[in-house]
Structure formats: C-alpha cells, structure tokens
Homo-oligomer: A and B are copies of this chain.
Amino acid sequence: MSFKPISDIGEFGLIDRIAAIAAPTLDAAPGLIEGIGDDCAVYELSKSVLQLATTDLLLEHVHFDLLTTPLHHLGSKAISVNVSDICAMNAKPRYALVSIALPSKASIEFVETVYRGMSETARLYNTALAGGDTSASSAGVAISVMVAGEVEKKKISYRKGAQPGDLVCVTGSLGGAVAGLRVLMREKNIMLEHIKHGEPYDNDVMSNLSEYDEAIRRQLLPSARMDIIDFFHKQNIVPTSMIDISDGLASDLAHICKCSGVGAYIEESRIPIHSQTRHIADEFQEDAVNYALTGGEDYQLLFTLKTEQFAAIASHPDITVIGKITPEKESMLLCDIYGMNVDMKTIGGFDHFNHKK
C-alpha cells in the first residue's frame, strides 16, 4: 500500500476523490440536486423552492491569527464567508449553526465577543443563529459554521451554465483582502521583533495604519454581497453562472470555465482594483493585478450574464464587466495592458495543500 501526500494531488484533486467516495450515498436523498462540487449543496424543498447548505471550518494558525484579528471581526467573518457561498448561488441565507472549540485559556468574554460579532453580522443578513456546539480544544480555537439558505428554483445560479458570448462580471474591487493581510503581517512582525528584543511596542513605534484602513477592513471584515443578490432579485437578473471569489479571480474563474465547459477572455485593464490596493502592492514591490488574480478572500461575486441583460446592470456602480465567455478550445486568456494574451491556467490560486501563492 502506498501513502501519497495530499500535496501530490492538491486540494481539488482531493475533493474529486472524496466526491467519488460520497457518490454512492447520493441515491439516498432523491431531493439532492447538487452534491460536492459547487459553492453549496442544493436540496429540493418543494417543487419551486431549493435549499442551499454550505459549511466552513476555520482554524487558528491556519485560517486566522489572533494576533492580528480582533475577536469581534473573527465572528463576523466566519458568518460572512458562509453567507457569501449562499449569495454565490443567487440565494438568501436563512439560518446558521455554529460549532466552536476553545482552548482552556479562552475566557467567557472571549467567547461572548466572538458570538457578538457573529450575531450582529447574522442580523445584517437576516440570518438566525439557530444552534451549534461548544467544546474544548487542546490546540487553538476552531470554529465551524454551516449556513442554510433558500432560492426559487428558477433563480438559482450554479458554477455551470456560462455560455460563449456571455459577459464576465465582478462586483466591487479585487485584491484588497490580500493587500490588507500583507500590511497586518508586516505590523505583526514589527511587534514580534520588538518583543523579542525587549523593546517597547507602543504608540511611538506602532505604524499609523489609517492609510491602509480600507484594505485592512477587507481582510478582517469582508461582507457577503447580499446587496447584489437583492438587486438581482429586484431586477429579475439570473446570472448564467456565479461563484464567490475566495481563492482569487484566476482560480475561481477556472471553476466556472471547468464546470460550464467554456473558456474566457479577460481584459487586465478592466479588473477593478482599489487605489489603496495599488499603493500597498507598490510598497511591497508586488503586482496589484496579481493580488486580484491569486490573492483570494475578497468575497466579491464573479458571474456571467447574457449580453441582452447588460442594460440591467449597466447603471449599477459596483458591477464591472471584465471580459467575456469564449468556447472551451480558446482556453482562459488574460489580455494584459500591453495587449499580450496570457494563459490564465498558468496562474495559480490558493490551494490549502500546496502553498504556492
């Protein structure tokens, strides 16, 4: 028997293996429309209504760092990233279950602050915190969140469904979350260096982070784009495909292309990037476009739309058309600002088992 490390096949290879093992169970639930492979599991509640369910497991030292993450923000983000998966299917969240495991050093106030962040954010999305589980942890804090949502059957958007000619659109701007993370990690290292050398880390040496406030906010306190879903429902817009950008534009667009059996043509100059993101990338001598393509954690929506629906989104100030869907054989191309076409499949996204960012 051979023992292969997971990095041999990567996160998505692993998910394929798991899906194959889970496949025989699917006959058990005739109402299950979509299993492993989209943002959410899709379950038929009635002839016209679907339920979506998604879950995320967040671990200290892997997904968050308590040195740079306020507890209130941690709770908020744990809810938002799951609601974002519900939004990615053009649906609205209904309720959430939360499990939390705590090291013995955690105080009651610690737990209450995390839950207050969850509760306030859940209310913003009209989502009930309906239950869960608390237990001890021998290592760091672990938080698992499940969110269930609903959508009318005729309104659901999957990763599949994009067709050649469709417009490729994104909401908001990209790359901000990783830019914020760069700043926070630099500040953390400054702090640790001071502690290491027994020097005070106080107002005199602390950086003024206010010029990075927007990027830091995007890292620590991302929003799920429920406002966009409300807009879609009001305007009767049903994207032909949709995903939320959690791994980076390149990787998440690749999911849409793979699931839909299409290619894409994206213009670099159209990718919306916040000025602060550009400043931070310059400071770190990095490329802001690369932040957008591979940074991840922006939790903006990436979707495709029939060109006939362009008028319906044209006036929205926070939606940008960045390219179009092409036949599969034309691959996924990025036309850079010099007019050169780059194959986007050579650009990685975040893989939990292959840390090549």
B-binding residues in A (CB < 8 A): 1-9, 11, 14-15, 17-18, 21-22, 24-29, 31-32, 35-38, 40-41, 43, 45-46, 51, 53-57, 59, 61-63, 94-95, 97-102, 104, 106-112, 115-116, 118-119, 122-123, 125-140, 142, 144, 146, 148, 352-353
In the complex with contacts A97-B54, A108-B9, A111-B17, A29-B130 CB distance below 8 A: yes
In the complex with contacts A14-B134, A112-B17, A6-B144 CB distance below 8 A: no
Q: CB distance A94 to B126 under 8 Å?
A: no
In the complex with contacts A25-B127, A129-B22, A131-B53, A108-B62 CB distance below 8 A: no
How many Å lie between the Cα of A39 and that of B43 in the bound state? 22
Show 14 A/B contacts (Cβ-Cβ < 8 Å), sorted by A.
Answer: A2-B109, A4-B108, A5-B104, A6-B106, A17-B108, A22-B118, A28-B123, A28-B125, A32-B94, A41-B130, A43-B148, A45-B46, A59-B138, A102-B353
Q: CB distance A135 to B35 under 8 Å?
A: no
Contact of A26 among B1, B101, B128 (CB under 8 A): B128
Q: CB distance A29 to B95 under 8 Å?
A: yes
In the complex with contacts A29-B94, A46-B46, A111-B6, A55-B131 CB distance below 8 A: yes
Most B CB contacts (10 A, CB to CB) among A7, A27, A146 go to A146
How many Å lie between the Cα of A301 and that of B327 in the bound state? 57
CB-CB < 8 A to A18: which residues of B?
Answer: 111-112, 115, 132, 134
* Nearest B residue (CB) for A123: B25
CB-CB < 8 A to A54: which residues of B?
Answer: 97, 131
Q: How many copies of this chain does the complex contain?
A: 2
Q: CB distance A97 to B62 under 8 Å?
A: no
CB-CB < 8 A to A100: which residues of B?
Answer: 57
CB-CB < 8 A to A108: which residues of B?
Answer: 3-6, 8-9, 14, 17
How many Å lie between the Cα of A137 and that of B94 in the bound state? 29
CB-CB < 8 A to A62: which residues of B?
Answer: 101, 135-138
In the complex with contacts A9-B108, A21-B115, A41-B97 CB distance below 8 A: yes
* Nearest B residue (CB) for A353: B136
How many Å lie between the Cα of A220 and that of B4 in the bound state? 26
Contact of A5 among B27, B107, B118 (CB under 8 A): B107
CB-CB < 8 A to A353: which residues of B?
Answer: 102, 136
